[in-house]
Amino acid sequence: MSDTIFAPATAAGRAAVAVVRLSGPGTAEAVCALAGRLPAARRASLRRLKDRRGRKIDQALVLWLPGPGSYTGEDSAELHVHGGPAVVSALLEALAAEGLRLAEPGEFTRRAFEHGKLDLAQAEGVADLVEAETEQQRRQALSQLEGRLSDVQARWREALTEALAYFEAAVDFPDEQLPADVAARARPVLQQLAAELDAGVADAERGERVREGYRVAIVGAPNAGKSSLLNALAGRDAAIVTATPGTTRDVIEVPVVLAGYKVLLADTAGLRDTPEEIEAEGVRRARAWADGADLRLWLVDGSVAELPGLPEEVGEGDLCLITKRDLPVGPAGAWAAEVARRMGIAAAEVTARGPSDMAWLKQTLAERVVADLAGAELPSATRLRHRELLMEAATRVRQALAEDEALELAAEDVRLAARALDRITGRIDPEQVLGRIFSTFCIGK
């Protein structure tokens, strides 16, 4: 990190103001070269920026942020210029001419991590906050940035340190006058920790769904009204609607916001046996998406005589919608209502053309999403990486509890559990993991 980096911190295109960030040991020299002299630390100063040839670039507000009291922990600066593309381009060219390097995605936050300004979980919170599309995503990301996961992980690690101390005392000092039950004292600590780690794993699944979106699959036979329902819920023509069976060949995902949560609605190919290769692939993808969804809306055209069959992916907790209730009723509607009753799933008659029906369905979906994702407090873990490491730590803790006599093995399992937790916050982490995490950031962050 001996080089000095720069990058625009605001989006490309026309804007009132554009911000360009600098960080690294050559920041002060670069600011002096463009602005004439350094302003007072942490005070905005109006300066006329010029390139190496003395050509004027723009009038700018210059912020000088000496390390370690900066975001990255290094000497840093911000240049606030007018947001025209030509102005920003001229400024970037001038910085490159001073020998600075354009930052890679996430490099500012990575430097903050490497200087101890953030741990890895907090850095991931920064990325999530930048990407947040809904109120709940914003709240969850801000909680992680403020250190919620880091604080919980520190408490768990403290419990492991306590248990390890008991085991090591029994192993290393067998001849000392220690209590006979010194190793047994680790058991209640580990039992409590195992329960908390299991809860953390379940919490992480909830956190992942808040980040990535609650998945709702719309499934059913061809022409059951799936695309029409998707369009009505989305409020736009996201899917093509025709009377030709098999119009939808691929999964069409549409994000919507319900009760502050991101929800992914998926229109899928009509479920039926077909010799047509492309449609058959669409049916396979539809079944795969539905199988991994959080909720399935099983649509049945209530106006037809032919019974469509029950999709194997539909089960307890899903919702049966008997569509086209504005048309004359056929046998399929009554059949679907009876099947839903026997399965113990809710059923309702709707039409995509009815505003009141769609308002009811949106409210029903919102209530379901809140019931599944809301909790007494925000999730501490929010990513698959977190969940996998928590599962590893929980497994190691259970193995330590199972070692009644081999205390050396129990102690090693406790150490490995602590190592897994340390990888969450980045105390120990392979370089390739860091690269993968920070590569998902936008340039300038």
CA distances from 68 to 71, 111, 162, 263 (A): 8, 12, 34, 41
Q: Which residues share a beta bridge with 20?
A: 8, 79
Residue 387 CA neighbour count, 13 Å, CB half: 13
| Angle made by CA atoms 324, 329, 333, in degrees to the nearest 5 | 75
Low-confidence ranges of the chain (pLDDT < 50): 430
Identity of the amino acid at 164: L
Closest CA to 382 of 177, 100, 99, 122: 122
How big is the chain, counted in residues? 445
Give me 39's structure tokens: 């302003």
Whether residue 417 contacts residue 397, with contact meaning beta carbons closer than 8 Å, is answered with yes
Closest CA to 203 of 263, 156, 253: 156
Identity of the amino acid at 387: R
Q: Backbone phi, then psi, for 242, in 5-degree steps?
A: -140, 170
Whether residue 133 contacts residue 255, with contact meaning beta carbons closer than 8 Å, is answered with yes
Neighbours of 237 (CB within 10 A): 10
What is the C-alpha to C-alpha distance for residues 242 and 391, in angstroms, rounded to an integer?
Answer: 47
What is the C-alpha to C-alpha distance for residues 322 and 319, in angstroms, rounded to an integer?
Answer: 10
Instruction: Give the pLDDT of residue 174.
Output: 55
Identity of the amino acid at 350: V
Identity of the amino acid at 50: K
User: Which are the contacts of 43, defined by CB distance < 8 A and separation ≥ 6?
Assistant: 63
| H/E run at residue 139 | helix 135-145
User: Which are the contacts of 59, defined by CB distance < 8 A and separation ≥ 6?
Assistant: 46, 47, 48, 49, 81, 82
What is the C-alpha to C-alpha distance for residues 260 and 281, in angstroms, rounded to an integer?
Answer: 34
Instruction: Give the pLDDT of residue 272.
Output: 80
Strands 252-258 and 17-23: unpaired
Q: What residue has token string 């995503």?
A: 137
What is the C-alpha to C-alpha distance for residues 136 and 141, in angstroms, rounded to an integer?
Answer: 8
Instruction: Give the pLDDT of residue 428.
Output: 66
Whether residue 155 contacts residue 424, with contact meaning beta carbons closer than 8 Å, is answered with no
Q: Which residues share a beta bridge with 253?
A: 266
Instruction: Give the pLDDT of residue 305.
Output: 85
Whether residue 315 contacts residue 343, with contact meaning beta carbons closer than 8 Å, is answered with yes
Residue 174 CA neighbour count, 13 Å, CB half: 3
Strands 295-301 and 214-220: parallel
Q: Which residues share a beta bridge with 295?
A: 216
Cα dihedral: 117, 120, 124, 127 (round 10):
40
User: What crossing angle do the helices spanning 148-172 and 384-402 adopt, rounded to 10°?
Assistant: 20
DSSP conformation class of 306 = S
- Is the pTM value of this prediction over 0.75? yes
What is the C-alpha to C-alpha distance for residues 20 and 326, in angstroms, rounded to an integer?
Answer: 58
Q: In what order do the strands lie in the sheet with 295-301?
A: 252-258, 261-267, 214-220, 295-301, 319-323, 346-349
